[in-house]
Amino acid sequence: MRSKLIVLTAVLASLLEIIDTSIVNVAIPSMMGNLGATLDEISWVVTGYIIANAIVLPISSWLSAQFGRKLYYTSCIILFTASSVACGLSTSLGMLVFFRILQGLAGGALLPTSQALIFESFPKEKAGTASAIYGMSVMVGPTIGPVLGGYLTDHFGWRMIFNINLPIGIIVAVLSFILVEDVGFDPSLKLSKAELKQKRKDNKTPIDILGLILLITGIGSLQFVLERGQADDWFDSRLILVNTIIAVSSLIGLIWWELRNKHPILELRHFKNKTFTGGVLLMSGVGVALYGLIFIIPVFVSNIQGLTATQTGALFIPGAFLAAMIMPIIGASLRKVDARFLIATGVITLSIAIFKISYFDALTSVDGMFVPLLFRGAALAFLFVPINTIVLSQFQGQEIGQAAGLLNLCRQLGGSVGIALISTFFSRNQAASYATLISHISLLDHQAYRLALQLQMSMQGKMTTLVGMGSHTLDSVKILTGMAHKQAFVIGYQKIVRTIAFGYLLSLLPLLLIKKKEGTAKPVMDAH
């Protein structure tokens, strides 16, 4: 019973963090109007959270060892909940951004620690089931976020998307305080307070100050570049250029320093394990496909088909719940089926689903989108469960948290890279397509002339002759220009999604690093 409650606590904590990553997006227009902010200014509500989150993710295991997992995890849940309420009470943009950054810092601890807790709560032969449970929260969270955010914003105002975390956060914090123990702690030993204090002291390591500084500047600057690059026109912006230089130099220095440090803040030596490296590369690819599609599809359906945020979020729900349903089955099958086969099935199925999604256009109905998006969800289930299992099953104790932190960071960075590339090339494809189409919108072009004539006839309701540049003729040209914008948008979307479909097949390459014997669930020591 205790193990089940720990799993429930970890799942709820994960959902709190994951949902809050996407729930804010749909409320941005309401925030702009209420706080008197521009789109560029309000974007820091999202950007600040993601940057803070990315900084903490890889060092959450180290922080857990310094303060004790029970204290660290519970404190972060309380801080996350308190900062959520503070966001809901914010009266200015600066106040909102500040508390969103605090929320991101606290939330960075929740995912890797929750994943480690879930993994440790199952016996060694059920590692796949543990990965399935965590994968369910990762899949369902981003899907619920926009739908829940749209509903709360429409009916209760944007502040409710933050305030709703209060009752859930209190419950999770209480459960964490009662149930969660430090790594390696055994409740049956009944240690005294002095012995427990000494045990926690023994787990501490010297603070890697230089590593911490390099990590914060490197990850923070990199995430800033990825989040703001397209909006600021990439390297035409001096700020983006400076942050790129800082990110590259800091990350190179971090790698050099951490590999030589006896007590690194970030354990990069795990990458000597080929299975771990292959799994991390695979998860980075999952991040590109998962968050990249969640970014581009809503942009497409809202602009071309006029769907609301709630309707858009509802498109992903069937696929997310299908994935949640089959994840436990996949987790159980890992004891008999080679994980590499399941991953290869997922990669190929996801590529095919994305290729089908690339054919969406202005005439595609919501029903026509159902099957490709359903297969997308199912394919992700074949990836999340075996990848998490093969990576975390290589480690035990404190190392599980370290591996989980790196795994979650790489998934998030993969998503940030994917969104940045998709946003950039989509905009460029759209601009190039529009330039080609608009060059033909002239009354000297025979096809454009005929189409303008048909539009003019429909507006006047009778046969007319194009003489000069009458008002109906000008209206026809305006309509043709609008049609060109819309068609260029569709072409840009189809090109970039098709590129993702073919490019994602490269995810088959990291499978070569994974050995067959390590593909199944390997014994994992229970850290409790």
Can you state the angle between helices 2-22 and 93-120, rounded to 10 degrees?
Answer: 150
Do 139 and 219 reside in the same domain of the chain?
no
Residues 6+ apart with CB under 8 A from 329: none
pLDDT at 80: 92
Do 447 and 378 reside in the same domain of the chain?
no
- Output the six-digit token pair for 87: 């966001």
Tell me, yes or no, whether 497 lies in a domain: no
Tell me, yes or no, whether 257 lies in a domain: yes
* Of residues 207, 224, 323, the one with CA closest to residue 266: 207
Contact 88, 160 (CB under 8 A): yes
Do 379 and 525 reside in the same domain of the chain?
yes
Q: Which of 185, 205, 225 is the C-terminal boundary of a domain?
A: 205
Can you state the angle between helices 44-56 and 209-228, rounded to 10 degrees?
Answer: 150
Calculate the CA dihedral of residues 278, 216, 201, 191 and round it to 10 degrees. Answer: -60
Do 177 and 76 reside in the same domain of the chain?
yes
Chain centroid to Cα 239, Å, comes to 25
Contact 480, 452 (CB under 8 A): yes
Do 102 and 55 reside in the same domain of the chain?
yes
SS3 290: helix
Which amino acid appears at position 216 of this protein?
I
Do 3 and 146 reside in the same domain of the chain?
yes
Residues 6+ apart with CB under 8 A from 132: 327, 328, 330, 331, 384, 385
Tell me, yes or no, whether 409 lies in a domain: yes
Calculate the CA dihedral of residues 102, 104, 108, 109 and round it to 10 degrees. Answer: 40
* Of residues 340, 342, 257, the one with CA closest to residue 513: 340
Q: Which of 205, 226, 252 is the C-terminal boundary of a domain?
A: 205
* Of residues 326, 439, 305, the one with CA closest to residue 369: 305
Do 87 and 2 reside in the same domain of the chain?
yes
Do 192 and 234 reside in the same domain of the chain?
no
Chain centroid to Cα 476, Å, comes to 43
Phi, psi for 519 (deg, rounded to 5):
-80, -25
Cα separation, 308 vs 502, in Å, equals: 30
Q: Which of 205, 225, 253 is the C-terminal boundary of a domain?
A: 205
Cα separation, 24 vs 448, in Å, equals: 43
pLDDT at 41: 73
Calculate the CA dihedral of residues 375, 378, 380, 386 and round it to 10 degrees. Answer: -140
* Of residues 383, 373, 356, the one with CA closest to residue 494: 356
Do 58 and 88 reside in the same domain of the chain?
yes
pLDDT, tens digit (0-9, with 9 covering 90-100), for 21-47: 777 777 777 787 778 777 667 777 877
Q: What does each C-alpha distance from 25 to 46, 73, 161, 257 come to in angstroms?
A: 7, 27, 11, 38
pLDDT at 356: 92
Rg over CA atoms, the chain: 25
Q: How many domains does the chain have?
A: 4
Chain centroid to Cα 359, Å, comes to 24
Do 524 and 377 reside in the same domain of the chain?
yes
Cα separation, 216 vs 52, in Å, equals: 9
Q: What is the chain's length?
A: 528
Give mean pLDDT in consecutive 10-residue pieces for the chain, a chain of 528 residues. Answer: 79 82 74 75 77 80 79 90 90 88 86 79 69 72 75 82 89 87 53 55 68 83 79 79 89 86 77 85 85 79 76 80 84 82 91 91 85 89 85 76 80 80 81 74 56 57 44 57 76 88 88 65 38
Tell me, yes or no, whether 30 lies in a domain: yes
Chain centroid to Cα 162, Å, comes to 19
SS3 308: coil
pLDDT at 226: 79
Do 435 and 425 reside in the same domain of the chain?
no
Cα separation, 423 vs 260, in Å, equals: 38
Tell me, yes or no, whether 94 lies in a domain: yes
Cα separation, 56 vs 78, in Å, equals: 16
Tell me, yes or no, whether 498 lies in a domain: no
CATH number for 167: 1.20.1250.20
Tell me, yes or no, whether 248 lies in a domain: yes
**Domain with 249 in it:** 208-262
pTM of the full predicted structure? 0.74
What is the DSSP code string of 463-519?
-----SS-HHHHHHHHHHHHHHHHHHHHHHHHHHHHHHHHHGGGGGGGGGGS-STTS
- Output the six-digit token pair for 443: 């009354």
User: How many beta carbons lie within 10 A of that of residue 18, not counting itself?
Assistant: 23
DSSP 188: G
* Of residues 438, 281, 418, the one with CA closest to residue 347: 281
- Output the six-digit token pair for 102: 């605090």
Do 435 and 421 reside in the same domain of the chain?
no
Tell me, yes or no, whether 381 lies in a domain: yes
Give the N- to C-terminal CA distance of the chain in Å, as an integer: 14
Calculate the CA dihedral of residues 277, 281, 282, 285 and round it to 10 degrees. Answer: 170
pLDDT at 450: 61
Place of tokens 């996350």: 80
pLDDT, tens digit (0-9, with 9 covering 90-100), for 7-19: 888 888 888 888 8
